[in-house]
Each structure stands twice: as structure tokens, then as C-alpha cells.
């Protein structure tokens, strides 16, 4: 049996930046004194003249990014999700979002899986915050393959992009033939009883949930939703019509993230039961990442239980 490849999406982000830097001499990377952790240090090593450490001043970094992008550069600005989306929200909104500046935000260490860093660093609110900014594209890739493709796509995209990456090494979900497109969800499994829509590291766990449900005679469809904004309305409506109920799975607060985005589409276009797997509106705690994911129910069992609840609701 082949070894399971596990890579943190933040590592794939760093490698993708180097790949972009080799092709685009107008690419500039900014970081907020966290290059070793966000993996932008890979770009710094390869292209030191195009890397700038802005210090522990995330708001200022976003303003610098906006200025550089306005001058014709392709700019990636990176920090932990808590500081990128949280501390720098005003600058992102007013300096990048409002004028629709072409800045790409690489936010690492998102979600509960930050682990021992605890609640102050475990950002489970960032998707909700970024969703409220008009014109902001939000991408939450599931593995290293999808991360690379998402970063390359973001560089070509016209407008601000918020990309969410994790600290934890996660199994590879896709192969080299996978095609990524901003704004498009992808069916990973067909089913008739319930549809699971997952994003980020929860995709691999949703795959395991499909197998759990199958062992109980339940046929579950599975959709990978890497782009949370703009959300793929067509695939959500299609899933609602085919299976009659949906469960969402995300490493984020159940308020304001993927679950909310899906429920909005469903309620307006094809009302069916929607249940949500995520952090249940509480703060995290310090502990090993894998243990925390189990404690907060962000696992295959948790997804399967919510899927069965959704099926009951449609009866």
C-alpha cells in the first residue's frame, strides 16, 4: 500500500509562491514577522529583493500591499488568520475591499487545528468576516494539490482574494489531474439520500463520513467547496434537488461560514433541511490539534450524525 501523503496547506502555499516568483518578476510578498510559520520564508530565500517583512503591524502591511498593487505589482500579504482577518479587518475593508485592489491575502494557522496556540490564535471567525466585504473572493483549499492550484488561480484573478491555510499536515485528497476553478464546487461522490458539502481539512473527514454512512445503508453525495465566496449556487441547488437535504462541514464557527452561505442559497432557491458541522459558537482551547478536532466534533462521526439528522428532518 502506498504511503499516505500528508502536507500542511501552508507548506504548499510557500512552494506555490516560489513557483509564481519564478514566472513573474512583478510578484512581491509581504509578511508580518511570521515568515517561518506562514512559509513565505521560502519566497524570501529565493527572491530576497522582492520580500518585505512589515513587522508586527498587520494593518500597515495591508496598506503597503494596496499601494504596491495599485502600482502594478502582484502582491501577496501573509500572516496568521487571526491577525490577517481580525486585526487588519478595517484596513482590508477600506484600503483593499472598498477600492477593489488586487491584493491576495494568504492567511495561515486558521481554525481549531492551530492546536496548542490556544483560543487567541485559533481563528474560527475569519470566513465570516471576509464574507461581509463586497467583492472579496474566499478560498479554503483541502490539500496541497488544491492549494497550489488555488494560489496560481488567485494570482491571475482580478480583485482581492482571501486564502485560508492550515498549520496541520493533512492527507492528499486530489491527484495531479484535478482541475480547480474559482467559484466552482466539485462532486467527489454521487448519492441519493443526503449531500455533504465540505471545505478545507473537513473534506478528507467527509470522505470518511461517506463510508460510515454507506456501512449503514445510507447513500451520501459529497461536494468539495473550496471557494466559499463566490459560492457555487448551481451545484448547491442541484444537490438540494437530488437528495432533499444537506449537511455542511467546516473548521470554522457554524455562524457566518460555509454553513451560512449554503443555507442562504438553499432558503432562497430550493428550501430543504440543512444541518451544520463546525465549531458551535464557542472559543477553542489549547491542546493537540487532532484531539481538539475530535473534542469539537470535527470528524467523520460528527458529519455522519448530522447527515442522519438532516435525513430525518426531510421526512
Q: Is 58 one of the catalytic residues?
A: yes
The terminus-to-terminus CA distance of the chain in angstroms comes to 42
Q: Which long-range contacts (CB under 8 A, 24 or more apart) does 307-310 make?
A: 307/194, 307/196, 307/209, 307/213, 307/218, 307/220, 307/247, 307/275, 308/194, 308/213, 308/218, 309/247, 309/275, 310/194, 310/245, 310/246, 310/247, 310/273, 310/274, 310/275
Q: Which of 229, 74, 95 is nearest to 156 (CA)?
A: 74
CB atoms within 10 A of CB 165: 29
Helices within 72-156 (DSSP H only): 81, 89-91, 126-131, 144-156
Integer Cα distance of 250 and 218 in angstroms: 21
Contact at 8 Å (CB) between 261 and 232? Answer: no
Grid look-up 529565493 returns 46
Q: Which candidate in 19, 49, 58, 211 is catalytic?
A: 58
**Catalytic residue IDs:** 58
Amino acid at each position: 500500500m502506498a504511503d499516505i501523503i500528508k502536507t500542511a496547506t501552508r507548506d504548499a502555499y510557500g512552494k506555490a509562491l516560489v513557483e509564481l516568483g519564478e514566472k513573474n518578476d512583478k510578484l512581491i510578498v509581504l509578511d508580518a514577522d511570521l515568515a517561518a510559520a506562514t512559509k513565505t520564508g521560502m519566497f524570501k530565500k529565493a527572491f530576497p529583493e522582492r520580500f518585505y517583512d512589515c513587522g508586527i503591524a498587520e494593518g500597515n502591511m495591508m496598506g503597503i500591499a494596496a499601494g504596491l498593487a495599485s502600482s502594478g505589482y502582484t502582491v501577496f500579504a501573509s500572516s496568521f488568520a487571526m491577525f490577517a482577518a481580525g486585526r487588519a479587518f478595517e484596513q482590508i475593508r477600506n484600503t483593499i475591499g472598498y477600492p477593489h485592489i488586487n491584493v491576495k491575502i494568504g492567511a495561515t494557522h486558521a481554525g481549531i487545528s492551530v492546536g496548542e496556540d490556544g483560543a487567541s490564535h485559533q481563528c474560527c471567525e475569519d470566513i465570516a468576516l471576509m464574507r461581509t466585504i463586497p467583492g472579496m473572493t474566499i478560498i479554503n483549499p483541502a490539500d496541497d494539490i488544491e492549494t497550489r492550484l488555488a494560489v496560481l488561480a488567485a494570482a491571475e484573478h482580478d480583485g482581492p482574494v482571501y486564502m485560508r491555510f492550515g498549520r496541520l499536515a493533512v492527507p492528499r485528497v486530489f491527484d495531479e489531474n484535478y482541475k480547480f476553478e474559482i467559484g466552482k464546487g466539485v462532486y467527489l461522490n454521487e448519492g441519493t439520500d443526503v449531500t455533504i458539502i465540505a471545505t478545507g481539512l473537513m473534506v478528507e473527514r467527509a470522505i470518511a463520513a461517506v463510508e460510515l454512512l454507506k456501512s449503514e445503508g445510507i447513500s451520501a453525495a459529497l461536494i468539495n467547496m473550496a471557494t466559499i465566496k463566490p459560492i457555487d449556487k448551481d451545484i448547491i441547488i442541484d444537490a438540494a434537488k437530488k437528495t432533499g437535504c444537506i449537511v455542511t462541514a467546516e473548521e470554522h464557527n457554524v455562524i457566518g461560514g460555509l454553513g451560512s452561505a449554503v443555507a442562504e442559497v438553499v432558503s432562497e432557491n430550493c428550501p430543504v433541511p440543512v444541518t451544520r458541522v463546525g465549531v458551535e459558537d464557542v472559543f477553542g482551547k489549547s491542546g493537540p490539534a487532532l484531539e481538539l478536532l475530535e473534542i469539537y466534533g470535527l470528524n467523520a462521526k460528527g458529519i455522519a450524525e448530522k447527515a442522519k439528522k438532516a435525513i430525518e428532518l426531510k421526512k
